[in-house]
Amino acid sequence: MVKFLQRGGNKRLKDFFQAYEIQSFQIPQRYRTIGSIFYRERLRHEVEEQPFFKEISLETAKIVIEPSNVGGLLEKWKEKFTEGKELATQKFIEGKEYGEKIFEEGKEKFNEGKEYGGQWFEKGKNSMIGLLGVIEKGVEQVTGEPLKNEPKEKGKVEEDVEKKEGVSDEKREETKSKKN
């Protein structure tokens, strides 16, 4: 209750009533206007540190709620609130589903690109290996001697590629031993 008094206060309420042209109403009617209900609800949200995005028009703020109308108005407000809540929930779900769909499509496109890039990398790698073979044969034909064939080990680039592709060290060693 103290927080309400600290956040609200007489001056702030009086300024609100003046802004919404309620200040001139008789005191009982002034505190039964939709504007005063709106003020209390906004103040409650502030005290509870919750967002409050509603606004009301000057005409709506001036409506005085007579005790005989309270039940009907509350039911109508509950109904509108429920409709708004349902609509907000529906829109949230639609937005979430759309976001998930876009994410999945993006993931698929990424994987397609990764696969396509991997295919071109393999083609390039095979072309380089073939080119190296041609160079070795050419050197042998020109010099009459084969190139010094040191034990063939995979180069650093191939090892890096295998690591990125998830090839384990054991699998690499196994492949090396089979080739030797």
pLDDT at 156: 58
Distance (Å, rounded) from C-alpha 16 to C-alpha 30? Answer: 11
Distance (Å, rounded) from C-alpha 79 to C-alpha 71? Answer: 12
Q: Give the number of other CB atoms < 10 A from CB of residue 36.
A: 21
Question: Hey, is 51 helix, strand or coil?
Answer: coil
Per-domain residue ranges of the chain: 2-65, 152-180
Q: Where does the chain have alpha helices with state H?
A: 2-7, 9-19, 27-30, 34-47, 58-61, 70-143, 156-165, 169-179
pLDDT at 7: 73
pLDDT at 125: 83
pLDDT at 149: 57
pLDDT at 24: 92
Which residues of the chain fall below pLDDT 70? Answer: 1, 67-73, 147-169, 171-172, 175-180
CB 36 within 8 A of CB 30: yes
pLDDT at 2: 73
pLDDT at 21: 93
CB 140 within 8 A of CB 146: yes
Whole-model pTM: value is 0.38
pLDDT at 84: 83
